[in-house]
A and B are shown apart, each in its own frame.
Chain A
Amino acid sequence: MAEPPHSSQPKTFPVKPKQKPKPRTQNQTPESKYWSSFKNTQIQNLISVPSLTFSPSSPHSFAAAHSATVSIYKPQNDPLDSPTTTINSFKDVVSSVSFRSDGRLLAAGDLSGLVQVFDVGGSSAAARSALRRLRSHVRPVRFVHYPKLHRLRVISAGDDALVKVWDVAAGDSPVTELRGHKDYVRCGDSSPVNADTFITGSYDHTVKLWDVRVGDSKPAIEMNHGNPVEDVVFLPAGGIVATAGGNSVKFWDLIAGGKLVCSMEGHNKTVTSLCVGRIGKSSDDDLNQFRVLSVGLDGYMKVFDYASMKITHSMRFPAPLLSVAYSPDCKTRVIGTSNGIIYVGKKKMKEEEIVGGASEKSLFWRIRPLENTEKKVFRPSHFRYFQRGQSEKPSEGDYLIMRPKKVKLGEHDKLLKKFRHGEALVLVLEGRHPGNVVAVMEELVSRKKLMMCISNLDAEKLELLLVFLRKYCTVPRYSGLLMGLTKKVLEMRVDEIRGSEALRAHIRNLKRSVEEELKIQQSLQEIQGIISPLLKIAGRR
């Protein structure tokens, strides 16, 4: 202790509202921060959206089926309201859409039983009419899917409990017809590792793995979910499938022959749709970044980390959710609801990341310009000689001396520093922040100047004060100060208040809110009176 820190260094203490107690729940984890960082926009005025899908190729447009229309949106467009392409050639409600792996063709099935294939790679006019009309289903088609690794086939299934595989190039009749399901088939997905295998899920509670090469209508593996299956999805490694049915999402290991791995029971109502999401960070470990996104009729979207078997994020929407999709570039997440709103979550990517990546790629082929490598030495004749080193970044071993942090002062702080107490009070009253007003009032109390300020307010400012008091004097956090103050104000300024009609109106409102609060308190006391004997009895046991 050669030198005790001098106690009376000039310090400034800004007048701040009192801190609120921090919530006991933990702060956002980095993962839930990631998932809530998607900026939500809405596409409204549709009828319910049963199916959403992303184009696998850039720019990753997404197609939404709603009523008898399929709309394709480009997420990069800023107001998302208008679709880039709209396909109207349906006779009934569209139930399912699917892009081909190159994103140029789109298959869609409707409730009339017709499956159509459209060209969406070119102009929007070309997409108006279907390239193929595949009619074989006699009941509504619920599921149409382009396999991830096969460009020619389309899989479809529907309420006739049949699963059909089409060769789009060859013709209008199905190549294979797979019978095995005993109820409506609602969903399916193709394996990301094998072009010939796919799974379907049905309302008969089963999920079946099919192999196209085996034509005897017998599934390779069959799994019983226990509820009508609403959606199935292959996880990226291809060994595990996730199935949604009832309130649960179950994970099955196909390699182990359809063994249940785990079950996620986070939803309160039926889970309607699943998709695989990826945490789109440039993190080095690829293992731990895939998640399963599930949406349900309870309005929740849940993110499930199947590696650690934990729900890592949960998000609520104000409507039953029917479909979810996640773009392959991790920038967009879309959710369709039953009341015709598509919630589009867009992630803001840093421009530099994209540009930087591109330029590096281009630099790979070019020779770097000489200026960049050689450091320019400025002479005193050059004006930059005097600015050199100002923006230098510190290297690792440097000893940093920080500039002392400046205390940020608000407007009211500046006024209080100049002892302009009345002006400071009026300033915060004009502001919108009740915490600041109370903080300034408390500061004035400790300077013994509050009463003086209030007695000096003119009629206009007094009105401002009364409005504030009416709004906040019953708020529990502030009432300790404000109730006493209200009484004092009424005593001090009774003449002005009597004289002005506007002020009297405020007083009437004030009275009403106080009476309301009294009623609330009384009823709370009644409740307490009921509960406390019960608690006492409970405590005795």
Chain B
Amino acid sequence: MIRGGQNYVSSPPAFSNDCKRVLVCTGNTVSVFSTSTGLQVSSLEGHTAPVTSILVVPATDVFCYCWTSSFDGTIRYWDLSVPEMVKKLDLGMPVSSMVIPSFLGSPEETNAKTSSVFAYVSVHDGKAWQIRKCNLTNYQKVGKLVLKETERPEPLIISPSGNYLGIKDKCKLHIWKLPRVESDLAVAKKITLHHTKNITILAFHPTERTVAAGDVTGRILIWRGFGTQKFLDPSGSNNRISMNDGEDKPGVRQNDDAESCSVWHWHSAAVSLLSFSPDGAYLYSGGKEGVLVLWQLDSGKKNFLPRIGSPLLYFIESPDPSLSLISCADNQIHMLKTPSMEIMRSISGIKPPLSYQEVCENFSGKAAFDCTSGLVAVQTENYGIQFYSLFANRGVYEVQVCERNHQPVDDVTVLVTLVELSVDGSTMGTVEVKLPEEGIGGVVCLKFWELDSDTKRFSVSTVIYEPHRDVDISAVAFHPTRRMAVSTSYGGDFKIWVCKERDIQQKGQRLQNSGWMCHAVGSYKNKAMRAATFSADGSVLAVAADTVITLWDPDKNVLMAVVGETPTPIVSLAFAGKSEYLLSISHGLKPQLSVWSMSKLAMAWSYRLHVEAVCSTIDSSYFAILALLPESNERAFKGNGIILLFNATDPIPVASMSVMKPKGGALAFLKGDLSEQAVIDGKTPQTLLVYINGDREYVIFNPYDKEGHKLSVIRQDVALEETGQFGYSSIYGELPKFDLQKEKTLSVMSSASERPWETIFNGSSHMLPPLTKLCSVFLESLLEKRTAVAE
């Protein structure tokens, strides 16, 4: 089982002391990447909920330890070199943020008193998020003292000197001066700075008493000399207030404790990134525009790194002054060469799903799979397709589909609605839609792409504007063996495209050029066509015309047969491998999965299930579906979705597993030579099933394998073993062990498993076989047990 596709940008990453590693929070694990290659080196596993912060213990190069906090209520101490966990503190409350002041500041100070390390944590006690103190060295309990309660988990920001701790709370900024000598009882002094807008981010100056904050309108406020009265004056502030009345404190609001406040405004949307440069001369800021702005602190002059292409989230300075990181909302972490503001390298995660459903109702957002090379193609926000290697868990490359630059702040006017790959992965079809302005100027564009055999990159082969007049394309399907494709439209027709070779003589040399041309057009009673598929040998084309399935000869374009009727329109079609069965899926009020026998031209069996995705093996008659479970069943299945594996001849599933976040998910069988990438128990697996969920996290497993054998992954740079533990259950919860199978398999299974009667009655009622059948199986399993004991 291989997991991947994690979000790299849920929390700020951290550098190791020698700058050669970057620690990135990836869900429940911490992944360690190399800065020189941008590839993953190792990972820290153990947390059972998303990791929220990573703090590397400052030391010389040799020792590399770090603290992590997580929503699972633990704080763990890791040795990075091994890598394994050293210590685990159980707080019992989810931790949203953690800072350790003693790691910062001057080194001799930390060396002198190695008594105990204190951390400030933001924990949830059941009612609100509280900021508390926690002794990490001699841990007994989280400190009783609550510095502040907030409604939402606010990130704790600590000044680079380690003297001040700050949080934002709506329009206010709370700053504590931390006691020089930490103890359980030491109390921090607090001041509050006010603003009229909600503050989104704050940052402390490395040396001076200056704090910068960004607000939702894009303004940056800089308070200089904060806390002059309270923090510096030990005698209290009563007598100073009267003196201050006459003083000039430009820009400071409500008698706040600061000397001056200045405002800079460049960002048009909320500021999400603020960071001072280590020498304190510059301030980095960024926001939704995807532009990194470098402010000269004295003069307010700006320098820009434009067109990063995605909202910026975090900016991390490394101990090496020439290297820093930017985390972007599109799951990319860019390594920045600081003085020249130049992106050197990127850690490329899978791009997050788009949220275009409200813009265009026909948007599918389904990923396409290249089953032979183990790539998944997903639409990206910047009008492109990202090819993501499932086995290596990293982005391979991107193809720009629309010739446009993406600006994150702009409205969406162009989107890639469909992407489809041919079976051998050599051809890609994309559909892009230009949304009309006030009803005019919308364009639908179908593009065919060819894979360059040398560079393994797709390049555009043919562009077809408005292939079905002005109607949207609902589906594109490729012929399994030949260079033929079909596109269906909501307007009630489908077109078959073929690729023709052309010879063009140019400057004496012969160039082979190929172009896609319309070969045939078909329609059935002007019904909207929403899905199409070719049979495994390519001799039959099935097109779903509203609620019926039409079968065509793709070469002669002759309607061969019309099959059946479903209660609601069919949205997806697939042939069950090489078998004579065709699957249809309809959504709506009466969702249905139907299996049609092509020899009888009639329905073989059906389920009333809302099926989100379906995929079939190429060579056998097995297929897998991803079904959304009704909400009432969620508790029973520990997940709101279920993957069922069927043999097309039999309505009883062969295997099942429950999953989370199935909405917008996809399934595919990966095939081909995986000997380089993955091995199950020493022998090459026949088939692997990949499930990618709505958040584009994916898991690859062998669906036929009941035990959950370990699948060791050999990466190019480092061998990474995902050992023992059925890692799947740690992310999606324990698997319910119900196996609804046909009698024969069940009897075989019962001898293998120890307590089969537990599994027999699990499952939803509509999928349970009749009780009479179950009873005999149940008794049989008991008998089997007895004999096993007797032997």
Contact = CB atoms under 8 A, between A and B. Distances in A.
Partners in one complex: yes
Nearest to B306: A10
B631 interface: no
Contacts of B394: 1
Nearest to B411: A448
Nearest to B558: A539
Nearest to B386: A7
A267 B437 CA distance: 55
Interface in B413-469: 413-414, 434-443, 463, 465-466
Interface stretch (B83-91, B213-221, B342-350, B653-661): B342-350
Contact of A7 (B309, B414, B465, B470): B309
Contact of B440 (A1, A11, A484): A484
A375 B277 CA distance: 55
A447 interface: yes
Interface string B463-489: 101100010000000000000000000
A445 B436 contact: yes
Nearest to B442: A445
Given A446-B413, A446-B414, A13 B403 contact: yes
B38 A27 contact: no
B103 to A, nearest CB: 32
Given A4-B348, A8-B307, A13 B404 contact: yes
B37 interface: yes
B382 A450 contact: no
A5 interface: yes
A477 to B, nearest CB: 9
B50 interface: no
A441 B441 contact: yes
B504 A484 contact: no
B384 interface: yes
A488 interface: yes
Contacts of A11: 400, 405
Contacts of A445: 413, 434, 436-437, 440-442
Nearest to B436: A445
Interface in A4-35: 4-11, 13, 18-19, 22, 26-27, 29-30
B156 interface: no
Contacts of A18: 465
B398 interface: yes
Nearest to A451: B438
Contacts of A26: 502-504
B599 interface: no
A529 B743 CA distance: 61
Contact of A2 (B38, B308, B411): B38
B405 A485 contact: no
B244 to A, nearest CB: 47
Contacts of A7: 309, 332, 380, 382, 384, 398, 400
A374 interface: no
A441 B37 CA distance: 45
Given A13-B405, A446-B404, A488 B308 contact: no
A10 B308 CA distance: 9
Contact of B438 (A9, A19, A27, A488): A488
Contacts of B414: 446
A448 B413 contact: yes
B307 A10 contact: yes
Contacts of B413: 445-448
Interface string B369-405: 0000000000010101000000000111110100111
Interface in A414-471: 441-442, 444-448, 450-451
Contacts of A475: none
Contacts of A444: 437
A280 interface: no
A448 B435 CA distance: 9
Contacts of A19: 463
A310 to B, nearest CB: 15
B515 interface: yes
A450 to B, nearest CB: 6
Q: Which of A1, A27, A441 has the most CB of B within 10 A?
A: A1
A282 to B, nearest CB: 15
Contacts, number: 94
A22 B515 contact: yes
Question: In the complex, which range does the number of interface residues on chain B fall in?
Answer: 35 or more
Given A6-B346, A8-B310, A481 B395 contact: no
Question: In the complex, which range does the number of interface residues on chain A fall in?
Answer: 20 to 34
A484 B439 contact: yes
A485 B345 CA distance: 46
Contacts of B400: 7, 11
Contacts of B508: 30
B505 interface: yes
A19 B447 CA distance: 13
Contacts of B405: 10-11, 13
A1 B345 CA distance: 11
Nearest to A28: B505
Nearest to A27: B504
A226 interface: no
A179 B308 CA distance: 93
Nearest to B290: A8
Given A8-B382, A446-B414, A480-B466, A3 B396 contact: no
A447 B397 CA distance: 28
Q: Which of A2, A446, A480 has the most CB of B within 10 A?
A: A446
A450 B413 CA distance: 13
Interface string B121-153: 000000000000000000000000000000000
Given A10-B307, A19-B463, A481-B441, A4 B434 contact: no
Q: Which of A6, A8, A10 has the most CB of B within 10 A?
A: A8
Contacts of A27: 504-505
A300 B364 CA distance: 57
B448 to A, nearest CB: 14
Contacts of B463: 19
Contacts of A3: 38, 345-346
A244 to B, nearest CB: 31
Interface in B499-531: 502-505, 508, 515
B309 A8 contact: yes
Contacts of B404: 13, 446
A30 B504 CA distance: 11
Nearest to A452: B437
Nearest to B469: A480
Contact of B346 (A4, A29, A480): A4
A521 B130 CA distance: 74
Nearest to B37: A2
B396 A4 contact: yes
B396 A1 contact: yes
A1 B40 CA distance: 12
Nearest to A488: B440
Q: Which of A11, A13, A480 has the most CB of B within 10 A?
A: A480
B441 A450 contact: yes
Interface in A264-282: none
A11 B515 CA distance: 27
Interface of A: 1-11, 13, 18-19, 22, 26-27, 29-30, 441-442, 444-448, 450-451, 480-481, 484-485, 488
25 contacts: A1-B394, A1-B397, A3-B346, A4-B348, A4-B396, A6-B334, A6-B346, A7-B398, A8-B307, A8-B309, A8-B310, A8-B406, A11-B400, A11-B405, A26-B502, A27-B504, A441-B441, A442-B434, A442-B441, A445-B413, A446-B413, A446-B437, A450-B437, A450-B440, A481-B440
Interface of B: 37-39, 290, 306-310, 332, 334, 343, 345-346, 348, 380, 382, 384, 394-398, 400, 403-406, 411, 413-414, 434-443, 463, 465-466, 470, 502-505, 508, 515
Which 5 residue pairs across A and B have the least CB separation, nearest first? A8-B309, A445-B441, A484-B440, A13-B403, A446-B413
Given A445-B413, A446-B441, 13 more contacts: A2-B38, A4-B395, A4-B398, A8-B309, A8-B382, A13-B404, A22-B515, A445-B436, A445-B441, A446-B437, A447-B413, A448-B411, A481-B441
